[in-house]
Amino acid sequence: MAEEKRLMKGNEAMGEAAVRAGCDAYFGYPITPQNELTAYMAKHMLDKKRTFIQAESEVAAINMVFGAGATGARVMTSSSSPGVSLKQEGISYACGADVPCVVINVSRSGPGLGGISPAQGDYFQSTRGGGHGDYYHIVLAPKSVQEAADLTYEAFDLADQWRMPAMVLADGMIGQMMEGVSFKPPKDPATRIAKPWAVGTSSNRPVNHVDSTHLDPDEFEAVNRARFERYAEMKKVLPRYEEHDIDDAELVLVAYGTSARVSYGAVQMARKLGIKAGLFRPITLWPFPEKRMGELADAGKKFLAVEMSMGQMVEDVRLYTHGKSEVFFYGRCGGNIPTEEAVLAEIQKILKK
């Protein structure tokens, strides 16, 4: 039974969802616009006799995540764009050592120190393995406070199931706005996936090693190939998306997170004018719902990617429509958010209506 709805900021809702998902340890370092999340964890983790550490830096925090995750604990860190850049080395190590963890990025405008307003310029970094080496990890993109809570709650299970970091890629808007949210009950620790690979103090089993060092090229290649087989399996079962008004749409808007909300508003306005627009919203950015994208391309749709960036996800739209479709782009950046009116104008320009 869902509990009564609460009015919460996205940042706080992700914190509460993590607590309920059984996060054993949180390691963070402050940065706007995700500070309420760190503050929420500070307030609630210690009450529950769990671990909360405000690390001395983002680099320290992600390495604490690695260490605690290697022991089999459910672990999380959160930050915003420049802070997540600092964590990339640790994320690469976690991917290389198959350490499950949850990383939340409440993204802001960049590059560089940038600004503190919402942006989606971290798509490439998130979906292409933002650190060094050959890897991917799960990326989930919520569109609302409710979904930010639900995806954070689920991210812990997905990370454990697939033995890798699961990133929740929110943006400053999702983190800062308040909406109604109802939470699922706390997870029963007994339902957790067993982690026989974890390091610890058990003396009656062979020694476990959790690390990413492989000096023998053939052995290392085999490890990477095995990991990519797992990726291939994930691509079959994990992609998730939401669609609105797709069937008869001439132009399909593709957008995630906040820009998907704006695009949905623009689609509704277009429909009122008799313009056949629809919305395709990827929920998993990695693995991207590429199969469905291909089906829509085969159906002869045109596409308009809407992003709070100079155009990053649009490259995946082009990739997975295999050059069969006309793909357009509309974006705002620097902390600006596209308006429904501007997106509608873009739809009208493309369809000449």
Partner 1 sequence: MTEKTFMAGFGGQGVISMGQLWVYCAMKEGLEVTFFPFYGAEKRGGIARAGVIVSTEEIASPLVTSPDSAIVMNMDSLPLCENILKKDGVMLVNSSLVKVEPERKDIRVVKIPCNEIAEKLGDVKFANMVMLGALSQVTGAVKLDKLEPILKTFFSESKHRFIPKNLEAMEAGAKAAS
State the nearest-atom distance from the C-beta of 129 to partner 1, in Å. 31
Q: Which is nearer to partner 1, 250 or 340 (CB)?
A: 340
13 binds partner 1 (CB under 8 A): no
Q: In what order do the strands lie in the sheet with 51-54?
A: 51-54, 25-28, 75-79, 101-107, 165-171, 138-140, 284-286
Over the Cα atoms of the chain, what is R_g? 20
5 binds partner 1 (CB under 8 A): yes
The residue within the footprint of partner 1, chosen from 211, 233, 341, 349 (CB under 8 A), is: 341
The residue within the footprint of partner 1, chosen from 177, 199, 223, 246 (CB under 8 A), is: 177
Q: Which is nearer to partner 1, 89 or 340 (CB)?
A: 340
The residue within the footprint of partner 1, chosen from 17, 91, 141, 262 (CB under 8 A), is: 262
Q: Which is nearer to partner 1, 294 or 334 (CB)?
A: 334
Closest by CA to 309, choosing from 37, 178, 127, is 127
Q: What angle do CA 44, 80, 57 make, to 5 degrees?
A: 75
Strand partners, 329: 305
The residue within the footprint of partner 1, chosen from 79, 92, 109, 258 (CB under 8 A), is: 258
Report the C-alpha gap between 315 and 331 in whole angstroms. Answer: 13
98 binds partner 1 (CB under 8 A): no
State the nearest-atom distance from the C-beta of 119 to partner 1, in Å. 14
| Beta carbons of 91 and 103 less than 8 angstroms apart | yes
Tell me the DSSP string of 228-283.
HHHHHHHHHH---EEEES-TT-SEEEE--HHHHHHHHHHHHHHHHTT--EEEEEES
Site track for partner 1 across 121-160, x = CB under 8 A: ----------------------------------------
Closest by CA to 278, choosing from 311, 303, 241, 306, is 303
C-alpha torsion sign, points 148, 152, 153, 157 = positive
179 binds partner 1 (CB under 8 A): yes
Q: Which is nearer to partner 1, 7 or 310 (CB)?
A: 7
Report the C-alpha gap between 266 and 269 in whole angstroms. Answer: 5
290 binds partner 1 (CB under 8 A): no
Report the C-alpha gap between 10 and 148 in whole angstroms. Answer: 7
346 binds partner 1 (CB under 8 A): no
Q: Which stretch binds partner 1 (CB under 8 A): 81-89, 258-266, 286-294, 312-320?
A: 258-266
340 binds partner 1 (CB under 8 A): yes
Site track for partner 1 across 266-285, x = CB under 8 A: --x-----------------
Q: Which is nearer to partner 1, 182 or 212 (CB)?
A: 182
Report the C-alpha gap between 339 and 209 in whole angstroms. Answer: 51
H helix or E strand, kind and range, residue 95: helix 81-96
7 binds partner 1 (CB under 8 A): yes
**What angle in degrees, to the nearest 10, is found between the helix axes of 81-96 and 58-70?**
30
Q: Are strands 284-286 and 138-140 parallel, antiparallel or unpaired?
A: antiparallel
Within 300-339, the residues that bind partner 1 by CB under 8 A are 337, 339
Site track for partner 1 across 19-58, x = CB under 8 A: ----------------------------------------
H helix or E strand, kind and range, residue 27: strand 25-28
The residue within the footprint of partner 1, chosen from 173, 249, 254, 313 (CB under 8 A), is: 173
- Residues near partner 1 (CB under 8 A) are 5, 7, 173, 176-180, 258, 261-262, 264-265, 268, 337, 339-341
